[in-house]
Structure 1
Amino acid sequence: MLEYKDYVGMVEPESDSRDGVFAGRVIGLRDVITFEGRSYAEVEQAFRASIDDYLAFCAQRGEQPDRPYSGKIPLRLDPALHRRAAIRAQAEGLSLNQWIANRIAAAG
C-alpha cells in the first residue's frame, strides 16, 4: 500500500512481474488514477507523480479533486444498540461520535 497526500494506492494483484511491469491504482475515489513501474521505486514515484498530475489537472480546470473520504459516515443502528453505545459514551464522558471514532481507531 502506498500513501501520499491522503491518497492511497495499491498495486494490482494481476500485475505481471514476468513482463517486468507492476500496475496500480488509487483506491477510495470515484475518479480513476493509475500508475505503473518496473520496480518498487518506480511504482512509488509514478504513484506520487500521478497524484500530483491529478491535482494539477483539477486545479487547471477549476474543479475540486475527489477526496478519498469526507470523514462523515451515515450510520443506521438497531435502536437498542444505539442506546447502549450512547450510554457507554456518556459513561466515558465522550460524545457518541467521539466514542465511535475511538472504537474504530482501536480496531485498526
Structure 2
Amino acid sequence: MKLLEHKGYYGSIEASVEDGVLYGKLEFIAALVNYEGETVQALKAAFEEAVDDYLATCEAKGYAPELPCKGSFNVRVGHDLHLAAAVKAKELGISLNDFVRNAISTATPV
C-alpha cells in the first residue's frame, strides 16, 4: 500500500467506487483525521490540508500533536521464536531489544 507523507505524518489512499471518490485517514496516530478528493492531486492537497489543520488545532488548544509511532511496541511471536531470539542475542552479547532493533533495521532501512 502506498502512503502519502507530509511533515512526518502518513496517510492512507482508498477508493470508493460507489461514491466515485478517493479518501484516506492519518495513519499511526489515535486521533481520527480524514480527508477526501475526486482526483489524486485533490486527495494529496486534502491530505496536506488535513495535516496542517490537525497541527494548527493542536497548537490552538494547547496540546502537543501525536507523533506517528511512539518508538516502542509489543510483538507477540510465540514461545519458540522468543526463546530462539533471546538465545541468539545472548550469544551475540547484545540485549534482546538490540537484536530485534537490528533485525528490523536490516529489513527496513530508514
For structure 1, the residue ranges without an aligned partner over 5 or more in a row are none
Other-structure match for 2:58? 58
TM-score of the aligned structures, taking structure 2 as reference length? 0.74
**How many residue pairs are counted as aligned between the two chains?**
105
TM-score of the aligned structures, taking structure 1 as reference length? 0.75
Counterparts of 2:6 and 2:18 in 1: how far apart (Å)?
Answer: 24
| Superposition RMSD in Å | 2.5
For structure 2, the residue ranges without an aligned partner over 5 or more in a row are none
Residue 99 in structure 1 maps to residue 99 in structure 2: yes
- List aligned pairs for 1:1-108, cutoff 5 A: 1-13=3-15, 15-16=16-17, 19=20, 21-75=21-75, 78=79, 81-107=81-107
Counterparts of 2:19 and 2:58 in 1: how far apart (Å)?
Answer: 35
Q: Percent identity?
A: 34
Counterparts of 1:11 and 1:35 in 2: how far apart (Å)?
Answer: 10
Counterparts of 1:81 and 1:11 in 2: how far apart (Å)?
Answer: 34
